Structure 1
C-alpha cells in the first residue's frame, strides 16, 4: 500500500480544515459537559472495538508484542479516559475565590474555558497512545482537535485516521496525515494550541513557529535520562526493572534509562544480573524473540549501530539489518565524551559509567541538559534525598523505571530542554484549558475612595494596601 496517497499537502485543504473546526467551536458544540462525556465515551468505544486492528498495526510498524501493545498503547489510554470521565464534572466547575478587603461587595471566580482548535503532533515510538492521550485532554477541556500522526508508522497512522473518522465529525476531531511538508503547513495555521511530542531539535522548530503567532504550546521532548545504581541497591530487582525500562519498545521510549551510572563496588554484579534479566525476558536470542520490538527505520538503525563502536559490548551487541533489530546491549569503557553520551540514544543500547562518590554523579548530571526522567536505585533515604533535591529533571522513579508515567495521579512533562508543560489526568485537562478570571461587582453601593476626585482617597488606599 502506498501510504503517501493519503497525505495532505495542499495548503488550501488544510486552511479549510482549520476554518471548519473554528466554526464548529464557535457554535458551542464542544463545551457542554454532556457533549464532552459523549465524545470521550465514543473514543473509548472506538478503541475497544478496534483493539485487534490497533495491535496488528503496531506489530507491523514496530513489531510490538500484543502484551506490550496493549499495556503501553491501549490499556494506558483506556485508563486515562476512565479517570477523566470520573473527574470531569469537578474539573469543569468554576472555582470561587476569596474577596480581598479592597473588593468588598464583589465576587470572584475562575472559569475554565477551552482554547479552541488544538493541534496535536504525535511521534512514532508510541504512535497510538501518544496521539490519543493528548486528545483525551483536548476533548475533556472542550476543544476541537487536529491530529498529525507520524509518517514513520504508516499502519498505525491509517488506523487512527479510520478510527477517528468513524467516531467523530471531522469538524470536531480529524486526522491530517503527511510528512514534514504537511507539518510545516499545519504550523502556519491560526490554531489555538499546539501539543507536540518528539525530539528536542524538532521541538525548537515547533516553538519558533508557534512564537510567530504567539500560540501557546506544550512540548514533550526527551534527553539523556540517567539511571543511577548505588552500592546498596537491590541488584536483582534493579536489573529487572532497568531492562524492563530499556527493553520496552526496543529502547525507543522518551523516558527510557538512557545511560547507567553504577557504583564501582556493584558494577560486575549488576552486569551479570542484567544479562540474566535479558535472557529471562527475551530468551537466549532476543533478535528472534516475538516479545522484542524492532527499530522503526533503517536510518535510525544505522545511527544506533554506530553507537556500538563507542565502547565494549559486555552484554549483547548483536544486530540484524534485515529485521532492523539490535540486541539489548550494555556498553562498558564509555567516556563522557563518547558520541553515545552526546545525544539521546533512543534504542536498546545502555552505556555504563562507574562512579565512586555521589557528588561525582551529581556534578556530572548537572553538567548536562536537564533530563526528562531520572531513575535511582538505592535503599538509603539520604541518597534519595540528595539526588531528588540537588538534581532537576522532569520526573522519575526511585527503585523503578518508567512507571511514573503510567498513573493519572502524577503529571508528566519535562523541564528545560526536555520539555515544557505537563499532562496526564487532571493536568491534561488543565493543559488544554485557559483559566479565565472573572469579577462580579455589586451595584448596591460604591467604594468611592478609589476615584481621583475624592479628597481622602490616598489615606484610605494606604490603609487598605500595605
Structure 2
C-alpha cells in the first residue's frame, strides 16, 4: 500500500488485540472492518461511543443451491474452485450445498473428479493447494469432522496444517458443522426436496454474505433471489460478483452492513453534504415566508406544496413574474405591457392559479 499512497496520510498498523483495542478508542470519520461477526459487534460498540459510522464486511454460511435442472459437471467444477480456493479460507466461499437427494451422489462424484483435475492424485503435494493459517484454526476445522459421514477426503496433518478437500454427505441441519462458518476445506451437503424447502432452509438461518444458485431455469434463480436475503448473489457461478467493481460488495444482518468496491467505495467514505448559496437580492420574493401570516400567503403555500405542477406551470410563473417586474420598471408602452400581462394572467388562471392572485 505505501507504494501507491502517502504513508503519512494512510498509515498501515499491524498488531493484535491490544493494538486494535487502542485504535478503536480513537476518533475516526469512518471505520471499515472485515472479519467475523463477534468482533464486528465489538467494533460497532466502540464506534458508537463517537457516533462513528461503520462498514462491516463479516461472514456467515454462504449457501449453494443446485437445481436438478442444470449441468452438474459445470456447476460442481465452479463450486469446487470457489470452495477449495485458499483452502476454503475466503469469506464468500460456498459454505454448504443444498440439493435434491436424487443428485447427491452425482454431485459428490463430480466434485471428486474436479478435485483430481485441479490438484492431482496427491493433493498434499500439489503446489496449488494451500494450508490452514494457524493451529488454532486447524483444530477448529478438524473438530467439525467429528461424527460426520465423510464421502471424500478427511485426511489431516497438524504438523503441516494440512486438511484435505473434504465432502460430507447426509449432513443434519442441527449438526455442529452447520452452526458456524466453516472457513476451511470442508463441504457439507444437506438434502432438500424442492426449491421451496431450500428457500425455507436459508431463511431460517442468519443472512449470509453470499448466495449461489445453479439452474437452467432463470425464473427459479430469480425466485430464490427475490425470496431470500443475502449480501450478494451469483447465479450459475460462485464468488464472481466480488470481482465486478461495478457491483457493491457487503453484507446484511449478521453478515455485515454497508458496501464498497468501485464507486461504491467512494460513496461509502464520502459524506453527502447539502450546500446552498443564495443571493441577497430580490428579498421581496421571500416575504411570503415571513410573519405576519395571511390567507393569501396560505394560498400561495398550498399552491407550491400541495398542487402538482409541471415545468410548463413553473415557466408560466416565471413569465408572469417578469411581466409584473417589467410593468413596474418600464413606464413606456404601458398599453402593450398591460395586454401581455393580461394574457399571461388568463393563461395562468386557466391552469389553476390559487385564489387571491
**TM-score normalised by length of structure 1:** 0.63
**Shift of the alpha carbon at 1:168?**
5.1
In the alignment, is residue 260 of structure 1 matched against residue 100 of structure 2? no
Alignment of 1:266-285 (within 5 A): 266-285=103-122
Deviation digits for residues 225-245 of structure 1 (CA, Å, limit 9, x no counterpart): 000011012111111100110
- CA shift for structure 1 position 354: 1.0
Distance (whole Å) between structure 1 residues aligned to residue 85 and residue 298 of structure 2: 66
SS at match of 1:203: helix
Aligned residue in 2 for 1:448:
287
Q: How does 1:55-454 map to 2 (within 5 A)?
A: 164=2, 169-445=6-282, 446-454=285-293
Distance 1:167 1:408 in 2: 19
Residue number in structure 2 paired with 1:458: 298
Match of 1:84 in 2: none
Contact 1:318-1:326 within 8 A present in 2 as well? yes
**Shift in Å, 1:176:** 1.5
Contact residue 30 and residue 269 of structure 2 kept, 8 A: yes
Pair 266,202 (structure 1): closer, same or farther in 2 beyond 3 Å: same
Cα drift, residue 257 of structure 1: 0.3
Q: Give the deviation of 1:443 after TM superposition.
A: 2.7
For structure 2, the 5+ residue unaligned runs are 307-357
Q: Is the CA contact 1:413–1:422 (under 8 Å) kept in the aligned structure 2?
A: yes
SS for the counterpart of 1:309 is: coil
Q: Deviations over 1:437-460 (max 9, x none)?
A: 112223331321111224233222
1:265 Cα offset (Å): 2.2
Deviation at 1:170, TM superposition (A): 3.8
Say whether the 8 Å CA contact 1:310–1:334 is kept in structure 2.
no
Distance in 2, matches of 1:323 and 1:414, equals 33
Q: Deviations over 1:152-196 (max 9, x none)?
A: xxxxxxxxxxxx2x6655431112221000000000001111110
- Say how many residue pairs are matched: 303
1-structure distance, mates of 2:269, 2:219:
38
Contact 1:194 1:216 in 2 (8 A): yes
Residues 213, 235 of structure 2: 8 Å contact kept: yes
d(CA) in 1 for partners of 2:4, 2:231: 34
Aligned to 2:352: none
Is the contact made by 1:310 and 1:340 (CA closer than 8 Å) also made in structure 2? no
RMSD (CA atoms): 1.3
More strand by share: 1
Q: Does the CA contact (< 8 Å) of 1:451 and 1:457 recur in 2?
A: no
Q: Distance in 1 between matches of 2:207 and 2:92?
A: 13
Equivalent pair of 1:448/1:454 in contact (CA under 8 Å): no
RCO (CA 8 Å, sep 6+): is it higher in 1 or 2? Answer: 1
Runs of 4+ in 1 over 6 A off after TM superposition: none
Unaligned runs of 5+ in 1: 1-42, 44-163
